[in-house]
Structure 1
């Protein structure tokens, strides 16, 4: 049940409270930030100038909020909002500290080593070192052993702390003693007539030294005050939790540990930022004192939170408490919490899928998912082309590069292949997008890329449901590429797409990370795919073709080629693969496609080569592919560092746009 109660203080300020009922306890919670002065009775002041609802600074034309007046901090440049003339009539609630000139500040700021009152009265009469999270009242002194004594007993010549920490030179030496008192050698202030009166008044006996008297001074006997408080049926306020605090929820009483309070008193327990209560996932818990003088539930402690982890579009996280196995939000995980996660479809975990929160830190790196790469799919129905079974969608990284550069009309023709390295980056051959004579890059507007294609034709209705098309935003060709003038060395390029492809069964990237750590064995079988010519003189293929060819060593391949051709094109950045005298090879239209090999452990396909050049011959004034010989592929390993840097730059620019 929720009910609104309104309380008006004086004639100036009305404050509304929200009343709540918890198991028969009706109370008015006092909710406030202890660093901000709410619930103050402010004295209405005559506005000056044109300051309608604020406070007009005295000597300058500056207006500030009335909430900023007499709060210990000068908000007026001339300091006129923090003067005794303005603040002296202000009434401070009991839980706030009253500066000498009238301002109200949080009681926690008393003796914290920082000037919070403009007259520094909050730091007057404090010990040298302020205690943090003290269990004592602001008018008390906390001994080193945690005992609380009256603040006036500190440095008075008598050890009132059981551990005598209230009468030390470190604490007392620098305090000021008025002229009518006597300052002990270690700093304490005692009666002015204590010097050489035959009675020990200084804890170190310095008041009786060098007095010319041989009789030992009398040591006075003092009894500690007896606590006669009736505690029957009352609850004892608990110590403040480490890295947390508790407050009285139903009154303005100071939050002091070790005091006895009446039944029906309710305290509100909270933790500091970065910590969570051990008994709840909420930011605070209300605990009432019930009959019999006990708190209704145990006082929780504060546990350190692990960094928050949230689910994303590619990652779903779940957190469970170690003991209860209850599900909790992963931004409220504490010691022992177990986090598990699952990746979205077409994504996979980059590491093991469990994390444990321990002492405010996860035991492993933040969970993340990467796109699945290099998986050959066999889920679509088979299509029979020229008597050979070909699986549509088998090579989901295969991309088609279309161009209208040489067309009089706006007709796009499949000119090359490519391979998806990500959903917006395509790897291809440089000669597909730049002049094969001098290496000049053609404008990106001439090109489009398609993924999820099985048929050759642009916008073919037969694969329109799976195909995705994108214009090319940027073409990056290796800076050393000069076409035939430099023997097609550095024949490699990456394309940045204008749109991001959606992952699907037939659209996924090929693997390339870690390619430098994979050593190919001679005669390892790789696969190249494309829509190139199916024979040396025929037209291009209507549907995607695959060709399985062996990787060959340099000497074997060199013997297949003419000496002149090998010297010119078989450069150090090329690898050789194919057959000799078997009527099988890559041909025109296959350029830019990937030569992939299956990883021996993960069985994923990695791109090792990009279709570059192959031997040809002339017949009837036409150039034909020499399908009796192997072909040359640009080695991805050679350009891996270049490739990584370009992908990073293109992806970063995409993220910042």
Structure 2
């Protein structure tokens, strides 16, 4: 895999190009070394056969995106650590927690359907067959091995059935052990010791150990066929020798072991049929052996294209065959057409030509991959009516990315009250200020269950009747910098990422903001004099009441020294390295209740005014226990945390 033209980098799945990802700013540790050729961009990952580049967010997401499927192997994924709200596939990929036991293969190795929580899995673990107690009967080859040799990393069955994901996905592995990519368990000291101890070699994976290897493994396990003798009893039924290779017959009571062609099924037995991958049955799926004859003809397997997983958040599809509309969520016969469109709030990629109509070919493959829709960000809705101390009332379409943060902590869980603001960066991720979620008494974050996020709200009150229908979503996870220490740390690193339980559906008054992701070092500073806007329901005047309606205010960025001169010596300590100043000294400012809201700046893009998030309302002066609206306010500079923001936005990007 070594070539002079290749650039070796330490690739963090989100950090992408900033060295070893053992960054205390993230609080996670993922080390992955890959070879990036010049043909792949810095935000892409090269497939093992070197013929294809995929987006970094497609790596280890449960669905193979490389033609050679190398993006969904333990070699690529074993070192990934999944967030608490996700399910970790046996080989390392992260999928939604709802994927576990939902009857759908969401992990490439199907380990999400092999959990002990899934129906029938626990029962299937009693597989001693006709072996003695304490022994395991190999699935196809039939020999008996000691239970201690099952899922131990070493292949003992001739058919390998003691070391497969089907057998080992739910196998218990203690903390001092190492879990192989298919679920087997070895001594923890065997990890990265230069010797392969796992049956799939995942203990010596380059993403885990920092060395390079050729990607040769797969996440599927093939079984060697075993020939059985023909029974001699009368009334048995022949499994025809000429039964197509694309179809297998199984006893209904033993649906995992195929009956060899040319063998005989027992009298009065029920059998079921299964097709190979990319084939679907035409005809009956079951049969019955009676007096040496089958009750019906054997079915055939027709080449089919896989169902299109396109009823997602960002993309939609409609399918038809010979003019008849059909569901896209089924195997498709050749000649099926799938028309791809983007959901509201998303658009086709603008940097390349896309194919909008896919066709299922005779080989059971779609002629093109479906394109990925991009979210439309940073746009106001036109023709709106015109916040914050001295501000103006605002139609929500003027700041469609703004959300309210609500909590039940204040009222003792009897109702929810608005405490802060936030900004939508994608349909499942909101950015806000860390201090909004900090328990000062316990010196830690509050639990996510104590918060809700409201989008499309004009009125501050949680239960208000709105002119437009708001969307209220629960919070699954609150992510902050590990070093954040609230007031004791002068509110440095005052940034929080909220991962939502469900997603927002974008429309004219609920939209995401844009992020600047490729600024150089000097551009990370917000230039003095640039005017941005921020929205909120904060106090209408110092010492006053919170605004019942959403307001906004235009605020100019202030030069560092000028800002410092206008602040007291005590407040100057809060101008930490990740802060900038904005505002006026004439009575217009952000105030309590506006914290976490986004300060956004306009930029002309393709002839349109597009808004980009640059600041998060953090803190300001104090006057009589309230905000001092004659002092500049301090904002967390999003660019100083853009790697973290990009990582969690990418990892939680809707599909």
Normalised by the length of structure 1, the TM-score is: 0.46
User: Which structure would you say has the larger RCO, counting Cα contacts within 8 Å and 6 or more residues apart?
Assistant: 2
Structure with larger Rg: 1
